[in-house]
Amino acid sequence: MGDFFNPALLPKETTFFAIWLLGVSLGLTACTATCLPFMGTWILGRGGSQGQALRDTALFVTGRILAYSLLGAIAGGAGVWLSQALRGGTGNVVIGLSSIIAGVWLLRSGKAHVPCGIAKGAGHTPPLMLGFSLSLTPCAPLASLLAVCAAAGSIQLGAFNGVAFGLGAALTPLLILLPLISLLSKSLRDNRDWITRWIRWGASAVLILLGLRRLMLVF
């Protein structure tokens, strides 16, 4: 995870390219290890088409970019307060609740009385929510981003820094791994209609347990 940095130790002027590279360092390393259990389980349990898996992956990445832009803006306006809040466990609470909601959605999506149109539309929310919430995980690259934004002292500049960081973090092996997991899910389900329910229920249980584990880290 790493400790949060002191803004005074960072250069006064940091280029957007440097912040983008900082995001890339997160996307290619810690992001995969942290996010794969959540999004991999979601993709496996949902059992959608390859196109659906690509859309869910895009929504997940979009959620991350939105989160980093918001975090950057808040840090630019509020200074180091945000870093302290994340260290206090706020991120784990949001991640835990998002994971539990995604798990419950998988359970409800398997019920016959749920209209298909509603289930399909509501299914866009969990991957976006997971992407947003998992961006709150305290780590050294995020600490550096918040420190730069706090030192800048500008909400607008902080938001731009967050977008640059998020675009870098979007370059993650998950862009390849999640569609591959979707193919694995399809292979498991082909000509095995009976297994679909068990995969969905199992994935739902894993997401709920992952969420509860995050909450237990705080309470």
When the pLDDT of each residue in the chain is averaged and rounded to a whole number, the result is 84
Q: Do the Cβ atoms of 5 and 144 come closer than 8 Å?
A: yes
Give the residue from 212, 10, 6, 185 showing the smallest Cα distance to 96. Answer: 212
Name which residue leads in pLDDT, 38 or 196: 38
Name which residue leads in pLDDT, 15 or 171: 171
pLDDT at 58 over 90: yes
Name which residue leads in pLDDT, 165 or 153: 165
The token pair that represents 161 in the structure block:
């820094």
Residue with token string 């961006």: 135
What integer pLDDT is reported at residue 27 of this predicted model?
92
What pTM value is reported for the model?
0.85
pLDDT at 85 over 90: no
What average pLDDT does range 201-216 have in this prediction? 94
What average pLDDT does range 62-79 have in this prediction? 92
Half-sphere exposure in the Cβ direction for 216 (13 Å, CA):
6
Name which residue leads in pLDDT, 104 or 124: 104
Range with lowest mean pLDDT among 44-48, 51-55, 84-88, 125-129: 84-88
**DSSP string of 181-215?**
HHHHHHHHHTT-HHHHHHHHHHHHHHHHHHHHHHH
Residues 6+ apart with CB under 8 A from 48: 56, 123, 182
Q: Is 14 helix (H, G, I), strand (E, B) or coil?
A: coil
Domain range list for the chain: 12-216
What is the percentage of the chain residues whose pLDDT exceeds 70? Answer: 85
What integer pLDDT is reported at residue 8 of this predicted model?
41
Range with lowest mean pLDDT among 193-197, 201-205, 209-213: 193-197
Model confidence pLDDT, tens digit, residues 5-42: 444 434 445 688 999 999 999 999 888 899 999 999 99
What integer pLDDT is reported at residue 129 of this predicted model?
95
What integer pLDDT is reported at residue 112 of this predicted model?
45
